[in-house]
Amino acid sequence: MIIRKYETYQNDGVLELVKESEKRYEGTTNNPEEIKDMLNGAFRHGYRSEEIMHLVCFNTKMCCVGVFEIGHGTTTASLCNPKDIFKKALMVNAEAIVIVHNHPSGSTEPSKDDVKLTKKVKLAGEFIGIELLDHIIVANDDYFSFMQNDIL
């Protein structure tokens, strides 16, 4: 499978989708651990020294159609909102999404802000028809799945 990482740019007020890179990934993305492995393998996601939030987009056949970096923060926070998430998901015609961010502290325990964002994204997705499959928190090789822990 090819993982395509995209960026968006504005040109005279028009949003443009630009493929930033492609990386070959030999695994699948059918569960939270595989998604964590994919992002760690492609971007060393769980080992970053500041919080990074990625959006993984899927088509109707649950194939990954794109990955976006949607938030880049400090050692303790990353800013992101549902508008930015779904703007990018719509550009690749996603049917479902997973949001993933890391905790440089090494703890995968979700914060109150993590739970709040997850609920907002889930609700927004229900309105526009893009399902939030999971929110995954990664720390090194460990992870926490909101879906597996019945928070979604």
By residue count, the chain amounts to 152
Q: Could you tell me the strand order of the sheet in which 64-72 lies?
A: 14-24, 2-11, 64-72, 52-58, 96-102, 131-139, 142-145
Q: Is residue 64 over pLDDT 70? A: yes
In 3D space, the residue among 7, 11, 9 whose CA is nearest the CA of residue 22 turns out to be 7
pLDDT for residue 23 is more than 70 = no
Residue with tokens 């926490």: 144
Q: Is pLDDT larger for residue 47 or for residue 120? A: 120
pLDDT band at 62 (very low <50, low <70, confident <90, very high): confident
Q: Which residues pair with 96 in a beta bridge?
A: 58, 131
Tens digit of each residue's pLDDT (9 = 90 or more) over 76-131: 666 788 998 999 999 899 999 999 999 888 899 999 999 999 999 999 999 999 99
Choose among 98, 130, 94, 137: nearest CA to 115. 137
pTM attached to this predicted model:
0.82
Element spanning 121, H or E: helix 112-128
